[in-house]
Amino acid sequence: MSSTKPYKFSYGEQINQYTSYNYSAKLLANTVASITVPYLSNINEGIIAIMTCRAENDSFVSVACNETPSVPSSSTFSQMPGEMFNEQNIIRKRVSPGDILNFISNTNDTYVGVSFYSGNSF
């Protein structure tokens, strides 16, 4: 299993590289959407997944690597797989080809974008 330690960018931070491995999806409330990390050619340092979202109101997205994320259901703290983010966060994680990134949102009409980069680009 790959490392799921998050690396957060500050809002507006730029990535000085383009990639043709860009994906997006419109999430439905409480429904998991998945993407398999592609095999990229000439990878020496693994793959970095950059994840962003566009959501309305107080929407958020939970993402987990090779696990099923969940939406919190109570005011009691509990451990959950994955990490929550919203449109003010950009999340960067080191992943491996074949890993499965799973996303879930608490509302409809939440848009998620994922871009994959060579890990030696950062």
Tens of pLDDT, residue by residue over 37-75, are 888 766 656 777 888 878 777 788 889 999 999 887 778
Cβ atoms 84, 61 nearer than 8 A: yes
Residues 74-97, mean pLDDT to the nearest whole number: 81
Contact 117, 19 (CB under 8 A): yes
Q: Is the pLDDT of residue 15 over 60?
A: no
Query: How much is the pLDDT for 10?
Result: 44
Q: Whole-structure pTM over 0.85, yes or no? A: no
- pLDDT at residue 99, as a whole number: 92
3-state secondary structure 34-103: EEECCCCCCCCCCEEEEEEEECCCCCCEEEEECCCCCCCCCCCCCCCCCEEECCCCEEEEEECCCCEEEE
Alpha-carbon distance of 107 to 64, in angstroms, equals: 18
- Residue 119: predicted pLDDT: 64
Q: Can you list the domains of the chain with their CATH numbers?
A: 6-121 (2.60.120)
pLDDT per position as a tens digit, 21-33: 889 999 999 999 9
Nearest Cα neighbor of 49 from 60, 38, 62, 61 is 38
